[in-house]
Structure formats: C-alpha cells, structure tokens
Amino acid sequence: MVPLVHIIYICLFAMGALFIWMTQAFPRPLSADDIGPAMFPIWLAIVMMTLIVVDTVISWGRAKKVPLGDVGLAFLFALGMGSAVWASSRFGLFYVLPVALYTGLWVIGSRRLVVNGIFSLAMSVVLWALFDQLLSIPLSRL
C-alpha cells in the first residue's frame, strides 16, 4: 500500500523540474530592467514545487493508501492512451480508432467480443462519415 497523492506529487515535482530545465533555452532579457520570458514559468514551477513539499509534509500521515498494483494499472492505462494518441498522429485516426475503442471496452470490463468489434467499427465509420464526408473536417492524416 502506497499513498497515491505522494506518487502524483513526485510526478508533478519532476514536471516542475522539467519546466525549469526547459526554460534555459528561452531567450534572455533584452535589458537589465526586463525580467525575460523565462521568469514566469520558473516562478510558477518554484511555487508549484514549494506547495507540493508543504502539502506532502502536512498530509504525510493522513494520505490515503492504495495497492501498488492499482497504481501500476493506472500507469499502464496512461501509457496505452498515450500510445493510441501517438499512433493516431502517425498512422491516422481512423486506422487506430477501432482498435483503441475495442481495447477500451475490454479494459472497462465488457467481454462481448463480437458486439465490441461491431461497435468499434460502426463508431469509427460513423465518425468518418460525419467529419470527413458530411462536415468536410479531415481527422485522418492518411
């Protein structure tokens, strides 16, 4: 059992550190009186990191604990969602959407394989017809 909020805070703290590191490539101030474009994201990251440390100290003994396996499943699901977004940008939405819908239905507990397949294909065709054909809004790269 691990405190879920502390795992989230570790990720957010790392994101704040990444913000500070990324601002090193921002342009420098044009004059000595200017604060420059990098200062706002740096200040925001420092405030965020400070509040994370303060809340972690305050809530150390009271944070709700969850099984580590649930946290792992959440990270795997987030990785799958990110992979679907990447694949749809690489190969096209309508090639990836049926597989993503089918997988999502299976993950949420629907085990009716034929019905899930029909639904995934039908929803993809309806979205393609609506956006690409009827509204002339192309959603697919290919």
Q: What is the pLDDT of residue 114?
A: 95
DSSP string for residues in 1-70: -EEHHHHHHHHHHHHHHHHHHHGGGSPPPSSTT---TTHHHHHHHHHHHHHHHHHHHHTTTTPPEE-HHH
Q: What is the pTM of this model?
A: 0.58
pLDDT tens readout for residues 22-47: 988 888 777 777 787 878 888 999 99
pLDDT tens readout for residues 45-64: 999 999 999 998 988 888 88
pLDDT tens readout for residues 98-110: 999 999 899 888 9
Q: What is the mean pLDDT of the chain?
A: 88
Q: What is the pLDDT of residue 26?
A: 84
Q: What is the pLDDT of residue 141?
A: 60
Average pLDDT over residues 110-129: 93
